[in-house]
Structure 1
Amino acid sequence: MLCQRVEGYLMDIETALKEAMTIDGAIGASLVDYESGMMLGSAGGGRTLDLEAASAGNTDVVRAKARTLDALGIKEGIEDILITLDRQYHLIRLLHRGGSPLFFYLALDRPRANLALARHSLRAIARGLDL
């Protein structure tokens, strides 16, 4: 099981992204600075998924949701954001570490993915990321 491999040790960005790509149905993954919209690293993607464009676009999603929560007076942090498409899941997992404005982005092939397990695995990978 993925979580048993990552629990208990720290990973660099490249290793964390490789682990994310082992999640069933993974199409592509990236680690993104949502202040700048720039990727710190990526894995997968290719012709079927432009991770640079997806990462920049999802930066806007994270910022918009944060503004909405602020406007509503909700003082809770965002854990993750899920976007469901006909054939894909797009999962955005925010990292809450010392003010670093980062998120993991994971695109999944919906027919091959287990969403609950993907969320659980991405949470474990995020916990194990050493920045």
Structure 2
Amino acid sequence: MKSILTIIAVAVVIAGSAVAEVKDNPCVVAQSAIGISMLDAMDKDMKIDIGTILHDKTKTELITNETVTYRLAEQFAVTDKKLANNKWLSLKDYLDIFSENNARNLIIKFTFENKRSQHDIFLASALVNDNECSVRFNGYIIVKREF
């Protein structure tokens, strides 16, 4: 049920973004931390041999670029604090990390092509800020899978 609600929420955000102009972001490149995290997920979650991907043919498209709200930062902070096996960071530390330096939630469409001209398309979500593209990789939705 949560997955369905998440997909619906992403669809609503995407539909709303189609009306307004989306502000560009320097993290929207295949070689950014977001692109690397997406490749890692393809390798680990889907067992895709990333050695077959033609990296120079990878396309990115910024779908939405939203300010991280307190509620979203709090949700990710609670989740990450629970997953952490150490006491180094407090909940407030996570909240600060996910909120500071003009934190943004990007939804990026990645289109990957392999050596057989097949395409995989994903929508990836990630938190970034003015200083880094690797604040948090939130996950992905599979749009199209050919390899």
The normalised TM-score by structure 1 is: 0.29
Larger Rg, first or second structure (1 or 2): 2
Structure number having the greater strand percentage: 1
Greater RCO (Cα-Cα under 8 Å, separation 6 or more)? 1
